Amino acid sequence: MTAGTDPGTRERENVTVVGGGLAGMTAAWTLRRLGLPVRLLEASPELGGMAGSRVIDGRTEDHGVHIFPAWYRNTLRLVGELGLTDHLRATRKFHQLLPGTEFRSADTPAADRLLFLYGVLDLLAQDYRAGDESLHDFLRGRRYLSPAAVADIEHLFVASSAAESTAVSAAGFRGSIAAFVRHPGRVRMPRGDLQQWFVGPFRQRLEAAGVEVLTGRELTAAATDDHRVRTLTLRGPDGAETEEAVPGQLVLAVPHGRLAALGPGITGALRPAHGILELTSRPLGALHLYLRRRLPGLPDEHIRLVGSPHAITLIDVGQTWPGHRDSLLNCVVGRVAALRHLADDEAVKVLVEELMAYLPGLDWEDIEHVCYQPHSSAPFHAPGPGSARHRPQAFTAFADLHLAGDFCAAPAGVAGMEAAVRSGLVAAESVRRRLRPELPAVRVDTIGDVPPPVARLLRAALRPAVAAVRRRSGGDGPGGNGSVRR
């Protein structure tokens, strides 16, 4: 800002970011680095949203288990900009655990591994630019897949997305697989709770850079007029509501349900207009078990419980987080919605008994403390079949309004933290084009894809081997016979 800039110009260049999750934090950080004055408002006492933590029963509990795959290119670059790369640890592999008398990884037979590989190539061979289908329909249409293979693939997806295969996009699943293929590398995990190792330091960097951070400010309404957002109604920590004028640019980085609740004055300005009303979310539960001893034989990496009725995955973070001597099982519950009819203590009983089937050494007497978070009021965005056409762009029909959030338009398969960070960068670029067009564009790294023709060539090369496997098995896949026609 030059000394000669008039006060009216300075006021117009103010940016208010509403929503202190990862999308809003990223937008605020990027805009401040462009030299713009930024104010960040968050309804909760802490920043972070679904990437954050909160104190429950005197303990800092993460919203869930968080991983940083190598294809999280924008997220990992942000971590580097913040100087937090050493706050993450690299892992070697994912583990699959079968129920049994002792810890043993699932040893997938060679034939099933071949069918799985062929199925992945088959999905990558699809071109969904002209349309989409559910993951369920894709799998049921593949005659070479055994029912067991279909169930395993569905469970793998549910454990990470909370959505059943009938409700998720095959194009999105294809995109995530392509991202892993194009950007191989070790998955990283935080060295401790995300509040201490990521979100807290991120907030410190924001405030040190000059971002004004205000928590306990909940957006309840927005008034629009003449293609602009004129005022925001904010509820403070004391419950009182105040109306504030919007002095410059506004970035709304709130969940799509909260955005929709602001009414047609806002949703009508989105591109596409009102499309956000068609988006859906589902809860992804968390169960944290503090044990009185170290469970022997468990790896310190991500474990998927094969065939788990509630799609449980877990990490024994007690082995790597500082200050822990005994096991601390941080579990993700993919099918937590199936427990919504139960009281929390009854749901915990169901989940712990399920864990005991996979960890026979685990006993109720081992459990010192339980933290269960069904997250029914903080659902996880899960793109459904054909939902890409409803996901809003960062820019809107209003000159002063921009959007960020994991629900915003993104390449197929980009989800979770990467979707949130990417949306924050795209929102910052939308503001830059409005206020500082002379500056270089905000960097947004692309995620690589696998061209369908390449996948089709590889699929064709494997087709004879897959046909032989299916003939030997004599089993019919979900399509009705064992032939391989694709």
Q: Quick check: is 302 in a domain?
A: yes
Q: List the 15-18 sheet strands across, edge first.
A: 212-215, 38-42, 15-18, 249-252, 401-403
Residue 479 confidence (pLDDT): 44
58 occurs within a structural domain: yes
Q: Which residue has the tokens 């996880």?
A: 380
CATH code assigned at 316 = 3.90.660.10
Burial of 392 (0-12, 13-18, 19+ CB in 10 A): buried
Residue at a domain's end among 373, 392, 422? 373
Are residues 126 and 252 both part of a single domain?
Answer: no
Q: Based on the domain organization, do 205 and 144 belong to the same domain?
A: no
Residues 355 and 415 both lie in one domain? no
Specify whether 119 is located in the same domain as 135.
yes
pLDDT of residue 485: 44
Whether 240 and 386 map to the same domain: the answer is yes
Single pTM value for the model: 0.92
DSSP letter string, 75-107: HHHHHHHTT-GGGEEE----EEE--SSS--B--
Among 322, 350, 373, the domain boundary falls at 373
User: Does residue 4 form part of some domain?
Assistant: no
Count up the domains in the chain and report the number: 3
Asked if 272 and 292 sit in the same domain, the reply is no
Residue 467 in domain: yes
pLDDT tens digits along 153-206: 776 666 566 567 888 899 999 999 999 999 999 999 999 999 999 999 999 999
Tell me the two tokens of residue 436.
Answer: 């500082």
| Domain span including residue 245 | 10-87+192-279+382-435
- 367 domain-assigned: yes
Weakly modelled stretches of the chain, pLDDT under 50: 1-8, 479-483, 485-486
**373, 395, 416: which is the final residue of a domain?**
373
In a domain, 70, yes or no: yes
Asked whether residue 165 falls in the same domain as residue 313, the answer is no
Answer whether residue 220 is part of any domain: yes
The model's pLDDT over 275-313, given as tens digits with 9 standing for 90+, comes to 999 998 888 899 999 999 999 989 999 998 888 899 899
430, 460: one domain:
no
Whether residues 292 and 243 fall in one domain: no
Do 209 and 146 share a domain, yes or no?
Answer: no
CATH classification at residue 76? 3.50.50.60
Quote the tokens at residue 7.
């006060």
Is residue 103 assigned to a domain?
A: no
pLDDT at position 310, please?
A: 92
User: Residue 155: which of 360, 333, 409 has the closest Cα?
Assistant: 333
